[in-house]
Structure 1
Amino acid sequence: MQRRFFHRLGIHIGVIGLGTWQLGDDWGTVDNHDALATLAAAAGAGGTFLDTADVYGDGRSERRIGQFLRTPEGAGITVATKMGRRVEQRPEHYTLTNFRAWTDRSRANLGVDTLDLVQLHCPPGEVIASDAVYDALDTLVAEQRVRAYGVSVETCDQALAAIARPGVASVQIILNALRLKPLEAVLPAAAAAGVGVIARVPLASGLLSGRYDEHTTFDEHDHRTYNRNGEAFDVGETFSGIDFTTGLAAVRRLAPLVPAGVSMAQFALRWIIDQPGVTVVIPGARSPRQARDNAAAAEAAALPAATLAAVGQVYDDLVRPLVHHRW
């Protein structure tokens, strides 16, 4: 798999990693054997970057990754976790004392002495703007609790604020064919600053897999059921913030652009890889086959300029009026 340089970690990583929210059983149950097999399949296909969080399954995702890291297939894997959502997201909770407690818990879950990368988990804007927060994060690095830190954000303005901080190694942001705003300023700013860009929700919660239609239903414990209107967390995390019907219409417009021999999901991932400034894409997978299929997008041919322009036109026609001003 193609690798890209993660500047502030000083390493090269596979351009398609694995997001592991689903391995915490927050998208329905995944048994432990399947979870470990999925992690091994992603690594075997060249995916050397795993993204998780301390709240995914209340630590279950981290613990499964920790179990995987102790296998031969887990050698050479970089793990990024996230912190900050175990309490109500108020600025006064983002303290060094809490950071130490949260990272110590993640270190124990993962079975490591030092976390490769810890990210603030979509904190309020006041937190991203706080000098004291970055002082505390720098202390975690000095104490060798973490190797580096980044910020997972909801909005482009938040991403730009984080990129401006000299200690920030990465920003994680929603980027997909139904969420184009980060292309305008975030990706160029990150590239200029040497900040890694982790593209999350790359398939728009599965919309861009092309497998769904008006009759598709989801488990009651799946956020695609319980968070469609932002009932539990930012609605932008579910179907990239657009209503399901509009999303299906956009995917049908995109379908004729998919090259022969490439799936809709692989096309959507390839589109992200082709955007200058992206360091790694983190699609989720619930099975080894899905992990391998996602990784295969890295081997697909780069999309021609006409196709990239056509994706932009679909966005302008159907999606831009709904989301561009929000995130």
Structure 2
Amino acid sequence: MNHRTLGNVGAVSEVGYGSWQIGSDWGDVSEAEAVEAVETARDAGIDFFDTADVYGDGRSEQILGDVLEDDIASGDVTVATKAGRRLDPHVADGYDEANLRRFVNRSRENLGMETLDLVQLHCPPTDVYYRPETFDALDDLADEGKIASYGVSVERVEEGLKAIAYPGVETVQIIFNPFRQRPAELFLEEAAARDVGVICRVPLASGLLTGALSRDAEFPEDDHRNYNREGDAFDVGETFAGVPFETGLDAVDALEDRIPDDRALPEFALRWILDHDAVSTVIPGSTTPAHIESNAAASEAAPLSDAEREAANAVYDEYVREHVHHRW
């Protein structure tokens, strides 16, 4: 497993583990399955874990805290969590010091950590990025030793660009994959210029870029790929990266026709992301041990060829761009 620098957080595995799936919104996942997934990730060399306080109302944090207890104590892993989506209503004014302090203390308890490695604002309303007092509150929490570093998780490129204007923002988490290419136009360059770490989520477009989904695929009632296809629960860009499902399947078919037979599609997608030097880590999520192991192995896979990159760009332009590029 190769490592890269994540802002001032330090070196992290360039393939991390996204822990949304072991919390909620992906169908039923037993505790045994969740524990096995985290243990498999560690065995595969992954030492960066991303979670949030709302994933299963703290379930994801608690599982990570339990399974990784020794590694957390020894500093052998980095755990990043997120705060803000517990607000109801989820409005910019709620991102104040009192609420952030409450959320941070709850995550510290869930994870069993005196000092959280990294806290990220969890896709807040755009107006939050125009509230310096929110970032002042995070500075205060850092000064008190409750958090070591902070960053943001954003929906749109413009939010990421605004966030990195704050000197205390060390990381930005953003959707970036062969079906969501806009961050490569400007954002990655600006983040690199400021030594801001970049965490790439939804790297496999909610399973589209695994090549395993079909037109007759059915998803459980509590799976966001069922109930959020139109953005009814949260930003539609989080589900299939915002690509309409049928269109995404057409794009996958076209992409598989154009890449080498010896390059599995998930490896292709992860390598496409990692071939951008400004990326610090990519965080696929899965509860299937074989998938977790193959995702981790993408770190050692060969970079994409010019022909492979051209194939990704051609498919994006033909099938995907019109649906996502202007929106996020």
TM-score class, shorter-chain normalisation, is over 0.9
- Residue 181 (structure 1) aligns with: 182
SS at match of 2:119: strand
> Which residue pairs with 1:77 in the alignment?
77
> Which residue in 1 is equivalent to 2:39?
40
Question: Which position in structure 2 is the counterpart of 1:96?
Answer: 97
CA offset at residue 132 of structure 1? 0.6
Q: Deviation at 1:130?
A: 1.1
What aligned pairs does 1:67-216 form with structure 2 within 5 A after superposition? 67-71=66-70, 75=74, 76-87=76-87, 88-216=89-217
Can you list the C-alpha shifts for 1:162-219, whole angstroms capped at 9, x where unaligned?
Answer: 1111100100000011000000011000100000000000000000000011111111
Separation (CA, whole Å) in 2 of partners of 1:90 and 1:135: 18
- State the SS of the aligned residue for 1:8: coil
In the TM superposition, residue 266 of structure 1 has moved relative to its aligned partner by: 1.3
Aligned length: 326
Point out the more displaced range, 284-293 or 52-61: 284-293
CA distance in 1, matches of 2:108, 2:272: 34
For the Cα contact (< 8 Å) 2:71–2:77, is it kept in 1?
no
Where structure 2 has 5 or more consecutive residues not aligned to the other structure, the ranges are none
Distance 1:258 1:286 in 2: 27
- Is the 1:40–1:74 Cα contact (8 Å) retained in structure 2? no
Deviations 1:71-91 (A, max 9, x none): 469851100000000012212
Q: List alignment gaps of at least 5 residues for structure 1.
A: none
Q: Structure 2: which amino acid aligns with 1:191?
A: A
Q: Distance in 1 between matches of 2:292 and 2:280?
A: 18
**Letter paired with 1:303:** L
TM-score w.r.t. the length of structure 1 is 0.97
Distance 2:90 2:72 in 1: 36
Aligned partners of 2:71 and 2:321: how far apart in 1?
45
| Cα distance in 2 for residues equivalent to 1:72 and 1:186 | 33
CA change 1:258–1:298 in 2 (3 A) is: farther
How well do the aligned residues superpose, as a CA RMSD in angstroms?
A: 1.3
Tell me the equivalent position of 2:229: 228
- CA shift, 1:307, in A, is 1.3
Work out the CA distance in 2 between the residues paired with 1:314 and 1:120: 33
Q: What is the deviation of 1:43?
A: 1.4
CA shift, 1:313, in A, is: 1.2
How far the C-alpha of 1:256 sits from its partner, in A, is 2.8
Q: Percent identity?
A: 50
Q: Is contact 1:43-1:73 (8 Å) kept?
A: no
Cα distance in 2 for partners of 1:273, 1:72 equals 25
AA in 2 matched with 1:85? R
Q: Distance in 2 between matches of 1:206 and 1:105?
A: 31
1:251 — aligned with what?
A: 252
2:318 is matched with 317
Secondary structure of the residue that 2:179 maps to in structure 1? coil
TM-score, structure 2 normalization: 0.97
CA contact (8 A) 1:49 1:79 kept: yes
CA drift of 1:31 comes to 1.4
Runs of 4+ with deviation above 3 angstroms: 71-75, 257-262
What is the SS of the residue equivalent to 2:148? coil
